Amino acid sequence: MANQELLQTIISRLTPGTWPANCVAELASSPKYTWSGLVDGQGQLQPVLTKDVWGVNIGVCYEYCNLNRIPFTKNFNFQSFSGSFTNYFLPWIALTAQLPYETGNPWSNMMSFCLAVGSPALITFSLTTTILNRFWVRTTFNELHTVAKGNTIGTRYSEVAGRVHAVQYLLQEAQQVPIRVSQAEGWLSSLVVCPDNTAWWKDLEGRLKSTRRGVTASLVAQMAVAGLAYLFTVISSFNASLGDPATALQIASGSMWIWLIPVILGWITVGTQSTHHSITDALCSKRAHHALEDPVQHPNQAVAQLATANIDYTSRQEQCALDVRSGLTPRLVPNQLRPGAFEAPHHQQLEVPTWMGARVEGDEAASGPIYNYARVFTWWQTAFILDRALFQTLDNIKHGRVCQVVQPPVAVPWDDNIGARNLFGDSRSTAHYCGLNTRVIRAYPTWSELPADVYKRLFAASFVALCLQWGTTGASIVIAYKTPTVGFGCRSASYTFYGALGTAVWFSMMISMLFLHAVMLRYQDVHERRRTVDFRQYTRPLGHSMLCALAVTARYIGKSLAIINTNLLVLTSLFQYIGLYSNCWCQGNAFGMGADGWVVLFKDAHDFADSAASSWDGGLAMTLLVCVAAYIFFALGSLKR
């Protein structure tokens, strides 16, 4: 027989309509229940109901507080749901609209959403690699810019410094699309060397600056609503509801989304293009000057007169040196009709066959910042080619070398009176001047060509990504785990599962990216050995096909897990707010404790306050520390130097 006075005191302290209150009412009203199975705060059995009793074991709960006795509809409280939904869930869902999409179609945008929400590690990895790549570009091109602004080069050709800066800006902005460089018809060397292209580079930089995504009123409003709603609710909970298990679990659920703030702020700080086609538009908006194919001089003209001769070395056309596309870079083959000229195979010949109907290039070919992870190697290759071409050009200007249009080259001194006209030349001479006559332009660098810095950036980005993923998810796990009943239950297990799946998504996409690079290296090797090969009629060897299968399968596994994990996060939050976890199995942590589980019934927030303070403080401190540290890292990496 229970102590009726104590029982009435307990019932009066419980919030009416909640699951513990309903369960206690069922126990008190059941004539069969003999008040057995009582447990203390450690889950140890107690013979009678006293102040030391916290609840009942899970067997008693299954018998008297099952779903037949306490159906879900009896636990649902619209007022509690609306408050939790408004404060802990809706602001975060609204904030996801500020994630960087820019993929070009609704399906890809939805997939981008699922990859981001389903794997904070993946979008953080893409963000971190973008920042580290920009830092490398700034460091490398600042050295070139310093050389270009030096007294010697600045006096001979001052406009070249602006060209260096424009190339740097293009590389910084072009990470969100697949971009290829080509020396077909001498186009790349024309853009790098020809003085007439100064205006083209200036226009390109201006257009890219005008289409950058900036800080908008909607971003500020949504960020403020999400952040302040979470902050004020947490502060209010500490003041009024410290120790309340329901409040603790709502905070844990809300903390699962807080990674959005540093990630979105990081993308805004580093900067992205506002549309998927802005880089293509900028590259194609204005015609560039193209060095004519050699020879362009008159046979009897003296070499010394070539630099000052009134010869038109260029023609204005739509440039094809920089192209937003994926796939292989065409290798040049001699033109049979024009001796000394070269031509490139048609792009359709180099289209890589699908594997089981799936596109092999995958995310490397997709537009959008979240897919930057897949372009780490190809972007570096583009940046390296442009860096070396500019370095060679600046070195030649510094040492007073003239872009000569005669073969074999003869010594012609730099003429300060004609300035930039010293750089006029045909396609052969401009290629020789910037070093592209001997450099093989590939889209995919071999493993040995990749410097150690690239791998270091990959490891650093992985570390930051996993820290942010588990720093925020781990805080939610700690709060849910330490909330009585202490142990792994529905909530803490679902949070752990979300973190594990998010990590698995990131890992699968990394594996897919590495396999893809191996696949494309094999295609590239075939193209270099057989420059006229048509891959539409090409049969892959077994080993090559297996690599394709691994690349595609890993990508599809990662994306499938991302979709599942996104739904898991949304449903976990909703289940928490509508009270679906209010049952014996979840309340008794049967997932982790099995038959030894027990449920808290006879204690309220006041009794939990002391034990809750440490877990709440620790979890929230962990969340805030990780988020603040992550954004400081993003901001410092994005500083202009």
**Pair (206, 302) in one structural domain:** yes
Is residue 371 over pLDDT 90? yes
Across the range 414-420, mean pLDDT stands at 80
Q: What is the mean pLDDT of the chain?
A: 85
Please check whether residue 35 lies inside any domain of the structure: yes
Cis? peptide before 71, omega within 30° of 0: no
Q: Six-digit token pair at 264? A: 């979105």
Which of these ranges, 301-305, 356-360, 591-595, has the smallest mean pLDDT?
301-305
First to last CA, the chain: 77
Please check whether residue 432 lies inside any domain of the structure: yes
Separation CA 310–CA 307 (nearest Å): 9
pLDDT at residue 305, as a whole number: 47
Separation CA 425–CA 7 (nearest Å): 98
> pLDDT-derived band of residue 610, with 50, 70 and 90 as boundaries?
low
Please check whether residue 394 lies inside any domain of the structure: yes
Please check whether residue 88 lies inside any domain of the structure: yes
What DSSP assignment string belongs to 281-346?
HHHHSS-EEEEPPSP-S-TT--GGGTTTS----EEEE---SEEE--SPPPPPEE-SSSTT-EE---
> pLDDT-derived band of residue 303, with 50, 70 and 90 as boundaries?
very low
**Pair (258, 310) in one structural domain:** no
Separation CA 90–CA 229 (nearest Å): 10
Half-sphere exposure of 395 (CA within 13 A, CB side): 10
Helix (H, G, I), strand (E, B) or coil at 436: coil
Separation CA 549–CA 553 (nearest Å): 6
147-184 pLDDT tens trace? 999 888 888 888 899 999 999 999 999 999 999 999 88
Separation CA 178–CA 366 (nearest Å): 7
Among all chains, which residue has been given the structure tokens 């600056």?
Answer: 209
Across the range 423-437, mean pLDDT stands at 87
Of 75, 104, 135, which closes a domain? 75
**Pair (115, 248) in one structural domain:** yes
Separation CA 423–CA 392 (nearest Å): 13
Please check whether residue 424 lies inside any domain of the structure: yes
pLDDT at residue 181, as a whole number: 94
**Pair (246, 202) in one structural domain:** no
**Pair (463, 416) in one structural domain:** no
Structural domain harbouring 168: 149-212+287-326+361-445
Please check whether residue 311 lies inside any domain of the structure: yes
Please check whether residue 19 lies inside any domain of the structure: yes
**Pair (240, 299) in one structural domain:** no
Helix (H, G, I), strand (E, B) or coil at 55: strand
Across the range 380-396, mean pLDDT stands at 95
**Pair (235, 312) in one structural domain:** no
Of 75, 99, 128, which closes a domain? 75
Across the range 120-132, mean pLDDT stands at 97
**Pair (471, 381) in one structural domain:** no
**Pair (471, 539) in one structural domain:** yes
**Pair (374, 503) in one structural domain:** no
Helix (H, G, I), strand (E, B) or coil at 179: strand
431-473 pLDDT tens trace? 989 998 877 889 999 999 999 999 999 999 999 999 999 999 9
202-258 pLDDT tens trace? 999 999 999 998 777 778 888 887 877 777 777 766 665 555 666 777 777 778 899
Separation CA 444–CA 523 (nearest Å): 10
Of 22, 40, 75, which closes a domain? 75
**Pair (629, 539) in one structural domain:** yes
The total number of structural domains that make up the chain:
3
**Pair (392, 520) in one structural domain:** no
Please check whether residue 188 lies inside any domain of the structure: yes
